[in-house]
Each structure stands twice: as C-alpha cells, then as structure tokens.
Amino acid sequence: MLDFPALRRDMVRDQLAARGIRAKPVLDAMRKVPREAFLPQALQPFAYQDSPLPIAAGQTISQPYIVALMAEALALDAGDKVLEIGTGSGYGAAVLAEIASQVFTVERIAELALGAAATLAQLGYRNIHVQNADGTLGWPQAAPYDAIVVTAGGPEVPASLKAQLKTGGALVIPAGGHPGRQTLLRVTRTSQDHFKTEDLGPVCFVPLVGKEGW
C-alpha cells in the first residue's frame, strides 16, 4: 500500500516549495487534498508524480506545480468567491475550496461534471458548486467573483469572464494563438473599464472549447 499522505508531503516540498511556491494557504491546501481520489484507480499510484495525467473524456488533470502556481497567482483570501472554468476531475476546485469561501466551477463535458461533483461530495466539500455548461461564458448568475481561474487554453481572454470579475480581482488564464501552446496570464481588473495583464510564463493546456474559446 502506498503512503499517499507521505507522497503528498514530498510533492509539496520537492515540486512546489523547491520551485518557489511560497503562499502558505496554497501549500497547506496542496498537502491536504488527496490527488489520488481524482484519478482513475489504475493511475492512482502516479498521483504525485511531476506531470499531468489523463482522466476521462480525453482530458487531463494538471501537473501539481501548475495547480499551485495558478492558485498562488490568484492571491486568494479566506472569504473570496472564486469561479473556475474547466472542472475536469475536480482536483483544482478542491484546492481552491480549501482556501476560498465559495467555489463555482463550470465544466462543458457532462461526464466530467457529474464525476467531479460525486467525488467532491464524497470528500465532504460543501462549498463547491458544479455546473455543466459552456465555461467560456462563465457563471453570470453567481457573479461577480473575487477571482477567476481557467484551466484550459483559449485564443484570448473571454470578454464574458472579464465582465464577471470584481474590481481588484485577478483572472488567471492560459491564452494564445495556438491550441497547444499558450502564455499564462494574470489579468487584474483595476477599474470598471480597465485591466492590467501580466505574463506568468509559457504553458501547455488542453483547448478551451466554447462560444468565446476555440
């Protein structure tokens, strides 16, 4: 039997802290959330390796470092309401829910949305709300959000998501002109009509599919 808690602690030390992840709430969340629970049983032994892994419907669960990097870039506070686009297995939502007050997460693939909701409920999360819909349009009924994170790469930042971000809030998204290569961006809403964009480095995500994506 694998000692998953020990593997998780090693992952946080060797893959996250050693690479410069410093936010204590993020490190604590990554130590707590059982990544193995969000993987098919055959892949659970590889849960804490330094790479993305395949899940259902041809999608992936992101590399732990990328999950932590994006969560840290949001600079979340405990009372924040977060929108996640691309629920996938639900792992990222669980990490966010350990830090923020409420997480609203949208997944376009019904199989993944149902599976993630079941896993998150089984693990006892009551502050995560899952919706099967076009994530490029956000979740306007629950807007505005203190932070938004997108776990798939789009050609540009969807206007609908920018409109649902509170002033002072951050939106973290992989974006670029090629479905397989993107730049990780942090877009901060500085006023009603103005946004500041920062380049956080090159990344590679599955395509963001939808009305305001590919």
Whether the CB-CB separation of 167 and 190 falls below 8 Å is answered with yes
Helix (H) or strand (E) holding 188: strand 181-189
Q: Which of 51, 62, 101, 191 is catalytic?
A: 62
**Distance (Å, rounded) from C-alpha 149 to C-alpha 63?**
15
Strand-pair partners of 102:
81
Strand-pair partners of 105:
84, 130
Please name the amino acid found at residue 204: C
Whether the CB-CB separation of 76 and 83 falls below 8 Å is answered with no
- The question of whether 62 is a catalytic residue gets the answer yes
Residues that are catalytic: 62
